[in-house]
Amino acid sequence: MTFDEASQIYYINVEIKAIRLELAKLKEERRYYKPNIISDMPRGGRGYDPQDEYLAREQELEDMLNYALRKLQYERRRIEEFLNTVDDAETRLIIRLRCVNNMKWEEIGEEINTDRRTASRKFYKFFGKK
């Protein structure tokens, strides 16, 4: 597994967070939609209904979210299989905390009782990066 492949989980999580934020914003906008005023006057045809547009966009975002979640599960399964091949327990833990748990270097350093720079150096050295 390459460094770029290991980093994919981070970017997928960022994508999921962005989609969820956009979906929440869309639902918030729809909550304040003015209801139709019902009167005895006949209306000609259905016309333009903005709620249909909101529902279509909401469905599109939910489909994107479901795809990203499936992709995340696939990538996590791949990295778990890769982690089973790493012999050094500390390196395996650093990769798991960084790639799977999306922890910051400071948090990883605290977790393994070392400096953040030491943890990041071991991570990048494992993948052959400077």
Confidence label for 45 from pLDDT (cuts 50, 70 and 90): low
What is the model's pLDDT at position 41?
A: 64
Does 101 have pLDDT greater than 70?
yes
Cβ-proximal residues to 6 (8 Å cutoff; 6+ apart), any chain: 79, 82, 95, 99, 127
pLDDT in tens, 10-33: 899 999 999 999 999 988 877 655
What is the model's pLDDT at position 32?
A: 57
Do 82 and 8 meet the contact criterion of CB atoms below 8 Å apart? no
